[in-house]
C-alpha cells in the first residue's frame, strides 16, 4: 500500500542546503545594474562592494566597531583566512559535531599542526558540552552544523571576560538566527546560504579583539597573499571598505545586493528569522504526527531552523544494513526529484542516512506544507519496493 500520489506540488521545489533557494520573486533581471566589464577598483565597482558591506552590517546588526570584509573562497576561504591569520599564540579548542566542524579540526590539527589543541566532539544529532571550552583558549565552532541540523542555542556559554578569541563559522546561521555579536570575535558566512544568493565570496566579520590579535601576532607559517590582512603589522583597512584582495565577481555582488535589499524590504533580520522559524514549525508539526521520521537533532533547543535534518526511524528501515539505509534514503530523495517536487534533499554524504530540508527564509512556508504529503508518499513507495 503506497498511498495515492499527492495532488499538489510545491510551487518551488528548491530545498537544497546550499546553494539555497533564490528569494521569492527572483529573476535574472535583478542583475541588470551589475558593474560588468569594468574594474572592481573603479569608483562604481568599489561603491557596489562597499554597499554590500554596509547592507550586510545593517541587516545583521553587526556592531559599528566590527569590521566586515569580502574575501575569496566563499565561507571556507573566510574561515581558513581567520584560522591561518589568528591562531598560534594560544591553545585552541575546536568544537565539532558534524562534518564541517571536522574540517576545521583537520585544519587546526593536521595542517596547522597546533599541538596545544583539544577537540570537543559529539556524534551527529548532539551538541558537545560547550562548557568544556576554556575561555583562555581560542575557540573554533559552528553556530549551526549544516550537516546534522544541530545548532548552538545561544552564546551564553561564551564568557564576556574571555582571553582567547572565538572564531565562529556561521554560514548556515547568519540571516536566519540571532547572532550574539559581543560573544563572537570572528564570524564567517557565504552568500548562497540563508539569502539564496550566488556562491563566490566569503564574508569575514572581525571584532576589535580579533583586529588587535592581527596587529600583534605574526603567524610562524607562510601566509599566501590571499590570506594577508596586515601590512607592516597594521590592518589593511581597505579590505573592510570594499577593496578586495583579489578580483571578485561583480555579477555575484549584484545578486547579493538584491538579496540584501529583499531582506530589508520584508523587515530585516526579525522577518528572516520568523520565516525560517515558521518553516521549521510547519515541518515539526508534520514530524510529530509521523511514526517513520524524526529529527536528527535530539534536543529541540538545538534544532536548526535552516538545515533541518531528518532521520528515518521506521523498524523496516532500522533493520536494513547501513549501505541499504543509505540507498533507501537516496531513493526517497531521487523519487521526489524525478517528480519535480523536491530537489537535493538527500542527507549529507557523511551524515547518518536521512533527509535534509532547507527551511531558511527564501523558502515559502506554503511549499514546506505542500512537500510533506510527498515525503510520506515517497517513503511508502520506497518501503514497498
Ligand X SMILES: Cc1ncc(COP(=O)(O)O)c(C=O)c1O
Nearer to ligand X, 100 or 175 (CB): 100
Residues in the chain: 385
The Cα 233–Cα 322 span in angstroms is 52
The Cα 172–Cα 163 span in angstroms is 27
- Least spacing, CB of residue 253 vs ligand X, in Å: 16
Nearest CA to 165 out of 145, 141, 144 is that of 141
The Cα 207–Cα 348 span in angstroms is 32
Nearer to ligand X, 76 or 197 (CB): 76
- Least spacing, CB of residue 91 vs ligand X, in Å: 23
C-beta of residue 174 within 8 angstroms of C-beta of residue 193: yes
Nearer to ligand X, 100 or 295 (CB): 100
Nearer to ligand X, 133 or 144 (CB): 144
Instruction: Tell me if the bond preceding 19 is cis, omega within 30° of 0.
Output: yes
- Least spacing, CB of residue 320 vs ligand X, in Å: 27
Nearer to ligand X, 86 or 173 (CB): 173
- Residue ranges that bind ligand X, judged by CB under 6 A: 18, 74-76, 100, 142, 146, 169, 171-172, 190
- Least spacing, CB of residue 86 vs ligand X, in Å: 17
The Cα 75–Cα 312 span in angstroms is 30
- Least spacing, CB of residue 279 vs ligand X, in Å: 17
The Cα 112–Cα 332 span in angstroms is 40
Per the listing, cell 540571532 goes with 178
Amino acid at each position: 500500500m503506497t498511498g495515492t500520489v499527492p495532488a499538489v506540488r510545491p510551487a518551488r521545489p528548491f530545498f537544497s542546503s546550499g546553494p539555497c533557494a533564490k528569494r521569492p520573486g527572483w529573476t535574472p533581471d535583478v542583475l541588470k545594474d551589475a558593474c560588468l566589464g569594468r574594474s572592481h577598483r573603479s569608483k562604481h565597482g568599489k561603491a557596489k562592494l562597499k554597499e554590500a558591506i554596509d547592507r550586510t552590517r545593517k541587516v545583521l546588526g553587526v556592531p559599528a566597531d566590527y569590521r566586515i570584509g569580502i574575501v575569496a573562497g566563499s565561507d571556507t576561504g573566510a574561515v581558513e583566512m581567520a584560522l591561518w591569520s589568528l591562531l598560534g599564540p594560544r591553545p585552541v579548542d575546536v568544537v565539532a559535531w558534524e562534518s564541517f566542524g571536522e574540517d576545521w579540526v583537520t585544519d587546526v590539527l593536521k595542517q596547522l599542526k597546533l599541538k596545544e589543541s583539544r577537540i570537543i566532539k559529539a556524534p551527529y544529532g548532539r551538541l558537545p558540552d560547550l562548557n568544556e571550552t576554556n575561555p583562555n583558549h581560542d575557540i573554533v565552532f559552528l553556530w549551526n552544523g549544516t550537516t546534522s541540523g544541530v545548532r548552538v542555542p545561544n552564546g551564553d556559554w561564551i564568557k564576556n571576560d574571555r582571553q582567547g578569541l572565538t572564531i565562529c563559522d556561521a554560514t548556515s546561521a547568519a540571516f536566519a538566527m540571532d547572532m550574539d555579536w559581543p560573544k563572537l570575535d570572528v564570524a564567517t558566512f557565504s552568500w548562497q546560504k540563508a539569502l539564496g544568493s550566488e556562491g563566490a565570496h566569503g564574508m569575514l566579520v572581525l571584532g576589535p579583539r580579533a583586529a588587535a590579535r592581527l596587529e600583534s601576532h605574526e603567524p610562524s607559517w607562510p601566509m599566501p597573499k590571499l590570506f594577508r590582512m596586515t601590512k607592516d603589522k597594521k590592518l589593511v583597512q581597505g579590505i573592510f571598505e570594499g577593496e578586495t584582495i583579489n578580483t571578485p565577481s561583480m555579477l555575484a555582488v549584484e545578486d547579493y545586493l538584491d538579496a540584501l535589499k529583499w531582506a530589508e524590504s520584508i523587515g530585516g533580520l526579525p522577518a528572516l528569522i520568523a520565516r525560517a522559524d515558521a518553516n521549521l514549525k510547519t515541518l515539526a508539526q508534520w514530524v510529530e504526527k509521523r511514526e517513520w521520521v524524526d529529527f536528527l537533532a535530539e534536543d529541540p533547543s538545538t534544532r536548526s531552523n535552516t538545515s533541518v535534518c531528518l532521520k528515518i526511524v521506521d523498524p523496516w528501515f532500522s533493520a536494513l544494513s547501513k549501505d541499504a539505509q543509505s540507498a533507501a534514503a537516496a531513493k526517497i530523495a531521487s523519487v521526489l526529484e524525478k517528480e519535480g517536487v523536491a530537489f537535493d534533499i538527500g542527507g549529507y554524504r557523511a551524515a547518518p542516512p536521512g533527509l535534509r530540508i532547507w527551511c531558511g527564509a527564501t523558502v515559502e512556508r506554503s511549499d514546506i506544507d505542500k512537500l510533506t504529503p510527498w515525503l510520506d508518499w515517497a517513503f511508502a513507495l520506497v518501503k514497498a519496493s
